[in-house]
């Protein structure tokens, strides 16, 4: 009884105006009423601003409880860094189209050249079109269409890092993985979502725990492509022939 009285006084203090009938709807209730929502295991209190939760909500089965990344139901909108039911990670919303972006787990990380082996040193001599900092899918399709030097139009031969992600079949139950886009230092690029996640949440699946660099699908020149590290968010570029880590994404 003492707890309920304390909560009632708290609810009354939330409003500076006298209580009015039917301050809350669905269900209808007067200011100061407390009810228990068994579906979500939460106590709700009626204020003149409507219903408010008085304790943490518990998700019922079928409302995101089985997959926190389903974006279906009130309990299934994840925050960046959330591990999904399929083992991938939600990293944020795309700067290109605001679609949710997911990242592979560390088990599918690899170290690889940006260019294919044998060396395709001048693959992409500035006219591949793989220059978007927001849309890695567009970059990959530009590389796929490119034909020149040791690259063959219609596939990703000659572009090892992009090809690695493109060849991930059935990983976390999906086949649409690609190499994320990157940009110059300080840019809000696609791969920078990982840095924003680490900055906000701390080390996620090993990312942010060291100064390793990660390739992007964005070409800077015929010799260099863009990359980023997640210990400090630095974005830079590097010679394509050097093996560097890759994390693939999908949206």
> For 114-161, what is each residue's pLDDT tens digit?
987 665 655 655 578 899 999 999 999 999 998 766 667 788 988 999
Q: Do 93 and 40 share a structural domain?
A: no
Same domain, 214 and 136: yes
- Same domain, yes or no, for 155 and 205? yes
103, 113, 110, 131: which is closest to 204 by C-alpha? 103
Are residues 118 and 216 located together in one domain of the fold?
yes
Structure tokens given for 138 = 């567009």
Name residue 219's beta-bridge partners. Answer: 225
Q: Is residue 81 part of a domain?
A: no
One domain for residues 46 and 93:
no
Q: Do the domain assignments include residue 197?
A: yes
The reply to whether 191 and 236 lie within a common domain is yes
Q: Is 246 left (phi over 0), alpha (psi -120 to 50) or beta?
A: beta
Q: Mind listing the pLDDT tens digit of every residue in the chain (251 residues)?
A: 334 333 444 444 444 444 445 778 888 988 888 898 776 667 888 887 788 877 655 565 545 456 788 776 656 678 899 999 999 999 999 999 999 999 999 999 999 999 876 656 556 555 788 999 999 999 999 999 987 666 677 889 889 999 999 999 999 999 999 999 999 998 999 999 999 999 999 999 999 999 999 999 999 988 889 999 999 999 999 998 899 999 999 99
Domain count, the chain: 2
Domain that holds residue 45: 2-53
Q: Does some domain include residue 66?
A: no
Nearest alpha-carbon partner for 192 in 233, 145, 158: 233
Its pTM stands at 0.74
pLDDT for position 77: 73
| Residue 241 and residue 117 share a domain | yes
The pair of three-digit structure tokens given for residue 11, joined into one six-digit string: 């609810």
My answer on whether 226 and 125 are in the same domain is yes
Residues 194, 173: Cα–Cα separation, whole Å:
21
Is residue 7 a part of any domain in this protein?
Answer: yes
Nearest to 164 by CA among 117, 128, 205, 126: 117
On whether residue 22 sits in a domain, the answer given is yes
Residue 230: enclosing H or E segment and its boundaries? none
Residues contacting 124, CB < 8 A, separation 6+: 130, 143, 146, 148, 149, 151, 159, 219, 222
- Do 132 and 41 lie in a common domain? no
Are residue 135 and residue 240 in the same domain, yes or no? Answer: yes
Has residue 176 been placed in a domain? yes
* Residue 76 located in a structural domain: no
Distance CA 157, CA 118 (A): 11
């Amino acid at each position: 009884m003492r707890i309920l009285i304390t909560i009632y006084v708290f609810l009354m203090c939330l409003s500076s105006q006298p209580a009015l009938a039917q301050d809350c709807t669905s269900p209808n209730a007067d200011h100061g009423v407390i009810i228990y929502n068994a579906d979500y295991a939460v106590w709700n209190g009626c204020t003149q601003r409507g219903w408010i939760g008085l304790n943490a909500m518990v998700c019922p089965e079928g409302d995101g409880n089985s997959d926190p990344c389903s974006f279906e139901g009130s309990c299934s909108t994840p925050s960046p860094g959330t591990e999904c039911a399929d083992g991938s990670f939600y990293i944020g919303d795309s700067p290109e189209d605001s679609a949710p972006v997911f990242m592979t787990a560390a088990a599918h990380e690899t170290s690889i050249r940006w260019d294919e082996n044998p060396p395709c040193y001048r693959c992409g001599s500035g006219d591949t079109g793989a220059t978007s900092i927001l849309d890695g899918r567009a970059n990959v399709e530009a590389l796929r269409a490119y034909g020149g030097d040791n690259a063959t139009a219609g596939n990703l031969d000659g572009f090892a890092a992009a090809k690695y992600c493109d060849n991930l079949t059935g990983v976390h139950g999906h086949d649409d993985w690609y190499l994320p886009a990157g940009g110059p230092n300080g840019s809000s690029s696609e791969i920078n979502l990982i840095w924003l996640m680490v900055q906000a949440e701390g080390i996620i699946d090993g990312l942010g725990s060291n100064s390793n660099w990660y390739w992007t699908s964005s070409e800077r020149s015929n010799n260099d492509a863009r990359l980023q590290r997640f210990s400090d968010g630095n974005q830079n570029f590097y010679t394509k022939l050097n093996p560097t880590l890759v994390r693939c994404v999908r949206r």
